Chain A
Amino acid sequence: MTSSGGGAIGGPALKVGIDLVSVAAVEDSLRIHAERYLRRVYTSRELCDCVTSSGAPDARRLAARFAAKEATLKLLRDGDQAVPWREIGVRSDRYGRPSVELAGSAAALARRRGIDSIEVSLTHEGPFAAAVVIASVPEAR
């Protein structure tokens, strides 16, 4: 991967996506729509990764993952393609390091753009959660 600011002519370039989500908004969705909200938006892996010590959905972690989905959409879309939220998932490894997993139409968009992998960073502090994603894409000649 080249450094930010673009690579050599004809080489790869970097694409970046960012998004910010209100934790309270996720809490409202959990209160109002509960299981339907979780099932339509998050992967089964995300639902396993985002629970509190009591086993309840963790709004802060869910908010960070929603931010990652939207940041990834900003990176992938070059139009207004339909991409279900659950086709973009965040998986945490045993050390808590996140990675992005794509399926279905999201994976197809990534292939079309020549994106092999997406790096992601998540954070949450106080009322907000945020995500940044970055990927190397072949530069158009």
Chain B
Amino acid sequence: MTDDPRPTIRSVLNERAGIPVDVDTLDDDADLFAAGMTSHASVNLMLALEDAFNLEFPDRMLTRGVFSSVSAIAAAITELSATDAVLPPDGGSR
């Protein structure tokens, strides 16, 4: 994983989050739900982020806040990348 996850997060957001604006025009702290991301789209976002970063979001992170902004997602991924949440190269049990 690169040191800064935000470019990948923005790419995933543009592809999978269903936000009706270019995410690259939003600040890191902009509220993605206010920008048009639905609750259901946040599920797709979570699954796509898991694919992109080869990790799995644990139940304790399934809050609205974790997926509410680029910076919040980056903080969660940085935390998970420092733990055993990262899956082995074959994708583990996911």
CB of A25 within 8 A of CB of B47, answer no
CB of A82 within 8 A of CB of B60, answer yes
| Chain B interface, DSSP helix/strand/loop, else mixed | helix
Beyond A36-B94, A82-B59, whether A29 also contacts B43 by CB under 8 A is yes
Say how far A90's CB is from chain B's closest CB, in angstroms: 15
> What residues on A are CB-neighbors of B63 within 8 Å?
80-82
Interface of chain B residues 46 through 78 with chain A (CB within 8 A):
46-48, 59-65
Cα-based distance from A29 to B18 in the complex (angstroms): 12
Q: A40 on the interface (CB 8 Å rule)? A: yes
CB of A25 within 8 A of CB of B64, answer no
CB of A66 within 8 A of CB of B40, answer yes
Beyond A33-B47, A37-B47, A40-B47, whether A25 also contacts B59 by CB under 8 A is no
Cα-based distance from A40 to B47 in the complex (angstroms): 9
Q: Which of B18, B40, B65 contacts A26 (CB 8 A)?
A: B40
CB of A21 within 8 A of CB of B40, answer yes
CB of A83 within 8 A of CB of B62, answer yes
Cα-based distance from A29 to B16 in the complex (angstroms): 10
Cα-based distance from A82 to B48 in the complex (angstroms): 19
> What residues on A are CB-neighbors of B16 within 8 Å?
32
Beyond A81-B63, A84-B62, whether A36 also contacts B40 by CB under 8 A is no
What would 8 more interface pairs be, CB under 8 Å, given A22-B38, A25-B44? A19-B39, A29-B44, A36-B94, A40-B46, A40-B47, A70-B39, A80-B65, A82-B59
